[in-house]
Amino acid sequence: MSEPRIVAVVAMAENGIIGRQGAMPWRLPTDLKRYRRLTMGKPMIMGRKTLESIGRILDGRDTIVLSHQAALPVAGAHLAASPNDALTLARDLASGRGSDEIVIAGGGEIYRLFLDRTERLYVTLVAATPEGDARFPDIDEGIWLKVQDETVPATEKDSAAMRFLVFDRR
């Protein structure tokens, strides 16, 4: 099996905002279904604050938390002290699961740390411009090629319409 590719999965507003005070500034059950489908059976690398905002380990996925803290707020997650340690652990876990992708799952600083190593971006572009304190790095079209763009209307349970985008590194 070849080396698993590193992908980022993110929901972001039109202004780049991905979070506000440890939470997402929208309610998008439609996107959460996509997130589950894209991440199931894969190791996920995230920061401590992201894990705290989720509040639990997600079923069917390995959670690797990049943190300088010695203990994690949620049982069952793997702790990594550096980006390289996180990737080494993720590769081992991906191999054990037969997974072809390692998911970078946020937040903003974690996306920035891994962006140069990321090969694909799965972006949910939320049709909103909320205020927030966490943002996704700018997607430079000189580096990233949009390979998918699907408009998704809001259901009665979603707080906004969205677009499902996929970018591959050029």
The pLDDT score that the predictor gives to residue 75 is 84
Q: Where does the pLDDT of residue 31 fall: very low under 50, low under 70, confident under 90, or very high at 90 and above?
A: very high
Q: Does domain 5-169 have CATH number 3.90.1260.10?
A: no
Q: What is the pLDDT of residues 37-83, one digit of tens each?
A: 999 999 999 999 899 889 899 999 999 999 988 777 688 999 999 99
pTM of the prediction?
0.95
Sign of CA dihedral 9, 14, 20, 23: negative
Phi and psi torsions of 109, nearest 5°: -70, -35
Q: What is the pLDDT of residues 49-60, one digit of tens each?
A: 899 889 899 999
Q: Which residues contact 147 (CB under 8 A, 6 or more apart)?
A: 166, 167, 168
Sign of CA dihedral 71, 74, 75, 80: negative
Q: What is the mean pLDDT of residues 25-40?
A: 97
Between strands 78-80 and 62-66, the pairing is parallel
Q: Are 103 and 64 in contact (CB under 8 A)?
A: no
